[in-house]
């Protein structure tokens, strides 16, 4: 069933264009147009949209990759819909919850819908709000890839991420599908709360529709390049991933993927934090991967990358900008198609997944079943 791929993880990475397509089909109203006479939302989230339309705050609980996706979600909910959003580790929140806020939507994000810490955090939140009246009542939304899971029975409604069954322990297509869920939620809320103009919403939707082809281009163009590149890192012990703004969580995700399947120590940092400590780690033995998509963060990440270069680090850039400056700063460039910064996480994560995969495969490791990890962590 690997359809010619060496591992399920690789197959699942290559399924991402069709996963994004099916998310678009499920959650975009294809007949919507900015000129429609009848005013209606371009997004079709149904009950999930009703649940959150008038909340003042959002708190998200999740673990691992789902937590990384939630950090991207926070950027979207805050920047597009203007809703203050907190992201909590479920394993912490269940024992050390933040004070209850009024009129708050709690979102549990779990690919499997079975992660014990996430379910317990949601249960705790439900219990402590039990019997309280509006505006302190519990409103809980789940984002999951398993609509038949335990999560679904605990929450008021779910957003199904439509990634299909994921077999590789390292989450890839389910992560991208969670991001899509957050784009739809944030755009729906932006539409309802009028925090974005219809013109801006239309531009973002057009951008979302381009994603499947753009991911295909990366997979076609970079598969081999990254496989070649990964030869250089078979004996590497540490990796640093840098990003800023909406791509900081992608730096975390790149580092997590590499740790999980290649057993190489890796950390993701918001690039501006390097000088506050981690820069001391850098030398010629520590490669640095910097995500520098065009936008507010671009120049900043470039100058942080230059600081790393000055410490002899091997620099790998993930960027859509092919110019003399990028070619001089970076030792290797992983090019991705041009895209609005706010949509870029779905694009920038793809080369990082491929990099983690090829390094682990080159090291001859059991990519689909990494040591000490399970697909669903149903124990505390
Ligand atoms: C990452 C990974 C784990 C999971 C985490 C949460 O590749 O597989 O970090 O993301 O255990 O799992 P779910 O999303 O099922 O709650």
Three-state secondary structure readout of 38-99 = CCCCCECCCHHHHHHCCCCEEEEEECHHHHHHHHHHHHHHHHHHCCCEEEEEHHHHCCCCCC
Whole-number pLDDT of residue 115: 97
Identify whether the C-beta of residue 158 lies closer than 8 Å to the C-beta of residue 364.
no
**H/E element holding 128?**
helix 116-129
Identify whether the C-beta of residue 324 lies closer than 8 Å to the C-beta of residue 297.
no
Query: How much distance in Å is there from the Cα of 332 to the middle of ligand 1?
Result: 30
Residue 285: active-site member: no
Query: How much distance in Å is there from the Cα of 364 to the middle of ligand 1?
Result: 23
Q: Which two tokens stand for residue 180?
A: 């899509």
Whole-number pLDDT of residue 284: 93
Identify whether the C-beta of residue 73 lies closer than 8 Å to the C-beta of residue 65.
no
Whole-number pLDDT of residue 69: 98
Query: How much distance in Å is there from the Cα of 174 to the middle of ligand 1?
Result: 9
d(CA 142, CA 158): 4
- Sign, CA dihedral 227-229-232-237, equals negative
d(CA 286, CA 114): 36
Which of the 8 DSSP states describes residue 100? P
d(CA 39, CA 43): 12
Query: How much distance in Å is there from the Cα of 264 to the middle of ligand 1?
Result: 18
Residue nearest to atom 4 of ligand 1 (CA): 64
Point out the ligand 1 atom lying closest to the alpha carbon of residue 64. Answer: 9
Identify whether the C-beta of residue 114 lies closer than 8 Å to the C-beta of residue 149.
yes
Residue nearest to atom 16 of ligand 1 (CA): 110
Show the beta-strand stretches assigned E in 244-357.
265-270, 288-291, 315-319, 332-335
Long-range contact list for 131-137, CB < 8 A, 24+ apart? 134/103, 135/56, 135/102, 135/103, 136/100, 136/102
Classify 228 as helix, strand or coil. helix
Point out the ligand 1 atom lying closest to the alpha carbon of residue 171. Answer: 7
Whole-number pLDDT of residue 244: 96
d(CA 215, CA 194): 30
Q: Which residues surround ligand 1 with Cβ inside 6 Å?
A: 63-66, 110-112, 115, 118, 169-171, 256, 260, 376-377
d(CA 142, CA 68): 16
ipTM for the complex shown: 0.98
Whole-number pLDDT of residue 371: 85
Q: What's the gap between Cα 200 and its chain centre?
A: 22
d(CA 261, CA 372): 10
Point out the ligand 1 atom lying closest to the alpha carbon of residue 65. Answer: 10
d(CA 358, CA 40): 45
d(CA 370, CA 129): 39
Show the beta-strand stretches assigned E in 224-280.
238-243, 265-270
pLDDT per residue, tens digit, the chain (380 aa), is 899 999 999 999 999 999 999 999 999 999 998 887 778 999 999 899 999 889 999 999 999 999 999 999 999 999 999 999 999 999 999 999 999 999 999 999 999 999 999 999 999 999 999 999 999 999 999 999 999 999 999 999 999 999 999 999 899 999 999 999 999 999 999 999 999 999 999 999 999 999 999 999 999 999 999 999 999 999 999 999 999 999 999 999 999 999 999 999 999 999 999 999 888 899 999 999 999 999 998 999 999 999 999 889 999 999 999 899 989 999 999 999 999 999 999 999 999 999 999 999 999 998 888 888 888 888 88
Whole-number pLDDT of residue 7: 95
């Amino acid at each position: 069933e690997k359809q010619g791929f060496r591992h399920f993880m690789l197959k699942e990475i290559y399924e991402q264009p069709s996963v994004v397509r099916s998310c678009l089909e499920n959650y975009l109203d294809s007949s919507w147009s900015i000129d429609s006479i009848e005013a209606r939302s371009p997004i079709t989230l149904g009950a999930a949209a009703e649940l959150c339309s008038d909340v003042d705050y959002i708190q998200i609980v999740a673990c691992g990759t789902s937590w990384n996706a939630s950090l991207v979600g926070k950027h979207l909910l805050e920047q597009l819909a203007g809703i203050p959003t907190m992201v909590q580790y479920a394993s912490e929140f269940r024992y050390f919850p933040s004070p209850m806020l009024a009129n708050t939507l709690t979102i549990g994000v779990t690919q499997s819908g079975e992660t014990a810490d996430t379910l317990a955090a949601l249960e705790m939140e439900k219990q402590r709000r039990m019997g309280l009246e509006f505006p302190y009542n519990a409103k809980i939304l789940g984002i999951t890839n398993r609509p038949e899971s335990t999560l679904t029975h605990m929450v008021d409604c779910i957003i199904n991420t439509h990634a299909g069954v994921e077999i590789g322990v390292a989450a890839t297509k389910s992560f991208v599908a969670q991001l899509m869920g957050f784009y739809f939620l944030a755009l729906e809320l932006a539409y309802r709360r009028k925090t974005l103009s219809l013109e801006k919403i239309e531009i973002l939707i057009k951008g979302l529709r381009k994603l499947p082809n753009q991911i295909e281009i990366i997979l076609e163009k970079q598969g081999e390049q990254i496989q070649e590149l990964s030869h250089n890192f078979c004996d590497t012990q540490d990796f640093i991933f840098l990003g800023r703004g909406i791509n900081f969580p992608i730096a975390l995700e790149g580092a997590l993927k590499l740790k999980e399947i290649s057993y190489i120590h890796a950390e993701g940092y918001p690039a501006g934090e390097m000088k506050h400590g981690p820069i001391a780690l850098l030398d010629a033995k520590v490669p640095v991967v910097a995500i520098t998509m065009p936008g507010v963060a671009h120049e900043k990440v470039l100058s942080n990358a230059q600081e790393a270069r000055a410490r002899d680090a091997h620099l790998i850039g993930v960027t859509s900008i092919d110019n003399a400056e990028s070619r001089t700063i970076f030792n290797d460039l992983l090019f991705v198609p041009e895209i609005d910064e706010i949509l870029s996480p779905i694009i920038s994560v793809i080369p990082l997944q491929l990099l983690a995969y090829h390094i682990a495969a080159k090291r001859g490791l059991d990519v689909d079943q990494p040591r000490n990890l399970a697909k669903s962590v149903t124990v505390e």
